[in-house]
Amino acid sequence: MPLEKICQEVERRQSEFVERLRDAVTIPSVSADKKHREDVFKMIDWAEKKLTALGVKCKQVENGTQKLLDGSTIRLPPVLFGTLGEDKNKKTLLVYGHLDVQPAQKSDGWNTEPFELTETDGKLFGRGSSDDKGPVIAWINAIEVLQALKVEIPVNIKFVLEGMEESGSEGLDEVLLKNKETFLHDVDATCISDNYWLGKNKPCLTYGLRGVCYYAIEVSSPKQDLHSGIYGGTLHEPLNSLIHVMSRLSDVNGKIKIEGLEKLVALLTDAEKELYKSIDFDLKEYSNDIGCKKLVSESPQDILMNRWRYPALSLHGIEGAFHSPGAKTVIPSKVIGKFSIRIVPNMEPDAVSKLVISHVEKEWAKLGSHCDMKVKALQGGQPWVADFNNNLYSAGARALEKVYGVKPDYTREGGSIPVTLTFQEMTKKPVMLLPIGACDDMAHSQNEKLDIKNYIKGTQVLAQFLLELSQL
Amino acid sequence: MPLEKICQEVERRQSEFVERLRDAVTIPSVSADKKHREDVFKMIDWAEKKLTALGVKCKQVENGTQKLLDGSTIRLPPVLFGTLGEDKNKKTLLVYGHLDVQPAQKSDGWNTEPFELTETDGKLFGRGSSDDKGPVIAWINAIEVLQALKVEIPVNIKFVLEGMEESGSEGLDEVLLKNKETFLHDVDATCISDNYWLGKNKPCLTYGLRGVCYYAIEVSSPKQDLHSGIYGGTLHEPLNSLIHVMSRLSDVNGKIKIEGLEKLVALLTDAEKELYKSIDFDLKEYSNDIGCKKLVSESPQDILMNRWRYPALSLHGIEGAFHSPGAKTVIPSKVIGKFSIRIVPNMEPDAVSKLVISHVEKEWAKLGSHCDMKVKALQGGQPWVADFNNNLYSAGARALEKVYGVKPDYTREGGSIPVTLTFQEMTKKPVMLLPIGACDDMAHSQNEKLDIKNYIKGTQVLAQFLLELSQL
């Protein structure tokens, strides 16, 4: 079967595939918000139905319960396992993806309703369009097209689709560990499509990710919010103490002030430095896309290294303080500061958390605040870096080159998909990231989108990639 | 008419008066939230109807429009003027109150629905029960009772009721200035019931208030929120820069770091210091009520001075950052830090704002952030301190002593009612604050309440006070 026929068939069914994505985006499967937990379950059922229609044998694997910060306990969404083909003469590819999404509200600054897929200028706007419903559905589309064209897929395919990725993949590692000797035992390679190109025009294969450690600093004192006129000036105010301690995590340039953290970072070798020189990365376009006049460096290599191989600390916000428009004269009684650190080899989340917690406690002690303070690690995921000299990556590279007519870049990513490392460790086989989305897809942000071109060509790439795996 | 009859009549009608308050609390007249602007209008209409039923001649005075931070313009609620009695042989008392309330949502931590009046253990919980719907309605109740008992009120009464007090009384000063030579020209004294007792058992008269200046620091950089994994480490993040600058406003003890501000504060005289010694103030009860283990000082006099005669800076929160439970890995693109300073004699809001803005800009320059920053004064109200040796205060003192059997304390307040000073300046006549609520009413906070006892005895006090004004 020549690629041309596959491409034609994918293009012929374009509007059907867009409708399929629209259907999925409608389900607000926000894993971080307990109000939407039922929607995550609904989204898992939705995917099971689609896979079953392709002949995939599905199983929803129970994932226990989650204890929330407010003390309540709710059920975790099951992990969806699927098996397509059990031919002992074929190799087995594992496909991972996630069906949950980041929170989104129109009032956050979206131009359209986040849970209604909206097509504008060849872009499909909607929460999850690119992260990660679009890529998961592209796998479904690709297999459907190969089946419709009666092309034999040269590998068995297994699926692991989860609903908690945007909340630290809670429970997934345990589920995988329990199934290491059964469901996972015959996996020969893993492919994940849950990241982005470095730019907007050239595809890439990704061999490294940063990990992430997420923290909450809770500061409290009076038993309830107070009127700042009546009480202001008589007590240590929790938000004041919190902001002081949050200001001591990193400086304005992003330099992390946590003692000992720098020593955990792998040293930059000359060979590694060399790798960065050949990468096609337009710094001007990068800063224009995000609307940032000035970056922390003017060297493309520095910026790539800061995204890929150095840690970064971001403050995300404060829970419990006044956050609406207008003026409210309140002394909030309990405030929770949230921040995270993207981690890189050789930083281990446990070691990082130990340093972070000790730093926060030391700074807290220096402050001398009368308020109560607790600092907690909410989630931690390890970084991942792989060797890309193997048949898995060359199959991916061939598929990309055939569809796009250009050799892909080999990239790393600043974002985190902790399960990548889990698959590598449990299967002892290579893992590859094959993104279909562009750098400006704005995952986690307002106006997340997937270009129709990327969705359609991505579907073609995944179909071709499955065929290239005959050489796995 | 002996006081006894008035008291009996008020007590007889208790449930009717509670229902009247319930009715008013049901209207969520939150002036800070444009979604509730119509409810403020509704609340003004509600009050007009009640006053008209007492024979008060009412007039809704147009108050123009308000420009919101988001650029939109909405109508301001009218100011409700009322006149009861135009006897040239009587003196005229002006009564001021406000019909708008602070924002409130059950999810903020209320035990009951904030806009449903709920009676528990002799307390009436609900937003506005104490601040300031309860006191306004107590005036209405008091006049109604005197009329029912056919007692002649020895003064003419004028009302000024507004709907923007919780949003800096926007427009009110202009409305009053326009009516200075007409509606206000014959006012002989002003009484305001919109503050609180110092404790829970002993009534007081209040002769001083702090003013308030409210500020917003807006920091922005990228054109939209960004994924902290993909972009973290490459740009100056707005929330990081904002938190650095917010940490430089005051230290953990509340000591304000704004250069020159201290010099604006009136010096403490020996006579003033003496006044504080006799005030009945239980520091233990104060800190127990708010659930604060340790205050900034162990001296009751220091704490009272910090509340009444020294400025205080409170951080209120951040608009635009992540504020929900859970973990979101976002770099917010535009964040607005909110804080206010309670000001005291001889601090002028304009002079304070000049120092604040210059301080923020200086600290910002020191930071060297690439982000954009704007600092704005949102509202400013002057402090007020009055002489309490006059017939107005002695009428108030007699009424309180007759109802409560105890001489009131003379107090100041940490909170702000900027219009107090406006009335004093425009009428050139004394202004007195006669609170009916207790110190633990939790205005502006969760679970705001008014004790039934205070509501009923407060109504009796206001009725008796009107009679005592024969000696004004």
**For each of chain B's 472 residues, which pLDDT tens digit applies?**
689 999 999 999 999 999 999 999 999 999 999 999 999 999 999 999 999 999 999 999 999 999 987 788 999 999 999 999 999 999 999 999 999 999 999 998 899 999 999 999 999 999 999 999 999 999 999 999 999 999 999 999 999 999 999 998 999 999 999 999 999 999 999 999 999 999 999 999 999 999 999 999 999 998 889 999 999 999 999 999 999 999 999 999 999 999 999 999 999 999 889 988 888 899 999 999 889 989 999 999 999 999 999 999 999 999 999 999 888 899 999 999 999 999 999 999 999 999 999 999 999 999 999 999 999 999 888 899 999 999 999 999 999 999 999 999 999 999 888 899 999 999 999 999 999 999 999 988 899 999 999 999 999 999 999 999 998 8
Domains of chain B (ranges; CATH) run 3-209+383-470 (3.40.630.10), 211-265+310-381 (3.30.70.360)
Q: How far apart are CA A388 and CA A275, in angstroms?
A: 13
* DSSP state, residue A130: T
pLDDT in tens, A156-184: 999 999 999 999 899 999 999 999 999 99
Q: Report CB contact under 8 Å: B225, A103.
A: no
pLDDT in tens, A325-365: 888 899 999 999 999 999 999 999 999 999 999 999 999 99
Of A231, A293, A319, the CB nearest to B323: A319
Q: How far apart are CA A409 and CA A411, in angstroms?
A: 6
* DSSP state, residue A364: H
Q: What is the pLDDT of residue B402?
A: 97
The yes-or-no answer on residue A165 being catalytic is yes
Q: Is the ipTM of this complex over 0.90?
A: no
B182 in a known ligand binding site? no
Q: How far apart are CA B441 and CA B126, in angstroms?
A: 10
Q: How far apart are CA A335 and CA A75, in angstroms?
A: 27
Q: What is the pLDDT of residue B1?
A: 64
A350 in a known ligand binding site? no
pLDDT in tens, A38-52: 999 999 999 999 999
Q: Report CB contact under 8 Å: B332, A322.
A: no
CA distance B229 to chain A (A): 4
Cβ contact A101:A30 at 8 Å: yes
Cβ contact B343:B286 at 8 Å: no
Of A252, A312, A329, the CB nearest to B316: A329
Residue type, A91: K
Q: Report CB contact under 8 Å: B307, A168.
A: no
Q: For residue A166, how far is the Cα from the chain centroid?
A: 6
Adjacent-strand bridge partners of B98: B162
Q: How many other CB atoms are there within 10 angstroms of residue A157's CB atom?
A: 22
Considering only CB atoms, which chain B residues are within 8 Å of A294? 235-236, 370
pLDDT in tens, A183-210: 999 999 999 999 999 999 999 999 999 9
The yes-or-no answer on residue A16 being catalytic is no
Closest CA to B433 of B383, B471, B386: B386
B340 phi, psi to nearest 5 deg: -140, 160
DSSP letter string, A331-343: E-SEEEEEEEEEE
Adjacent-strand bridge partners of A227: A330
Q: What is the pTM of this model?
A: 0.83
**Mean pLDDT (whole number) for A425-436:** 97
What ranges in B189-325 are assigned the alpha helix state H? 228-231, 238-246, 270-277, 283-290, 300-308
**Mean pLDDT (whole number) for A361-387:** 95
Q: In what order do the strands lie in the sheet with A312-319?
A: A312-319, A334-343, A211-220, A372-381
Q: What is the pLDDT of residue A71?
A: 83
Q: Side-chain half-sphere of A208: how many Cα atoms within 13 Å?
A: 20
Structure confidence at residue A280 as a pLDDT band (50, 70, 90): confident
User: b/e map of B217-237 (b: 16 or more CB within 10 Å)?
Assistant: bbbbbbebbbbbbbbbbbbbb
Identify the three-state secondary structure at position B150: coil
Cβ contact B276:B304 at 8 Å: yes
Of B234, B292, B310, the CB nearest to A306: B234
Which tokens go with A27?
Answer: 């389900």
B166 in a known ligand binding site? yes
Average pLDDT for chain A: 95
Q: What is the pLDDT of residue A1?
A: 65
Cβ contact B79:B95 at 8 Å: no
* Extended beta strands in B401-441, E state: 409-413, 431-433
Q: What is the pLDDT of residue B471?
A: 86
A329, closest residue in chain B (CA to CA): B316
Q: How far apart are CA B413 and CA B394, in angstroms?
A: 19
Which tokens go with B311?
Answer: 């400025």
CA distance A190 to chain B (A): 22
A375 phi, psi to nearest 5 deg: -120, 135
pLDDT in tens, A27-36: 999 999 999 9
Residue matched to tokens 């250009």: A406
Q: Report CB contact under 8 Å: B232, A378.
A: no
Cβ contact A123:A441 at 8 Å: no
Considering only CB atoms, which chain A residues are within 8 Å of B228? 312, 314, 316, 340, 342, 444
Q: Side-chain half-sphere of B362: how many Cα atoms within 13 Å?
A: 11
Q: Rounded to the nearest 5 degrees, what angle is found at the Cα of A100, between the Cα atoms of B335 and A25? A: 90
Q: How far apart are CA A165 and CA A102, in angstroms?
A: 9
B237 in a known ligand binding site? no
* DSSP state, residue B181: T
What ranges in B155-217 are assigned the alpha helix state H? 172-178
Closest CA to A233 of B393, B310, B97: B310
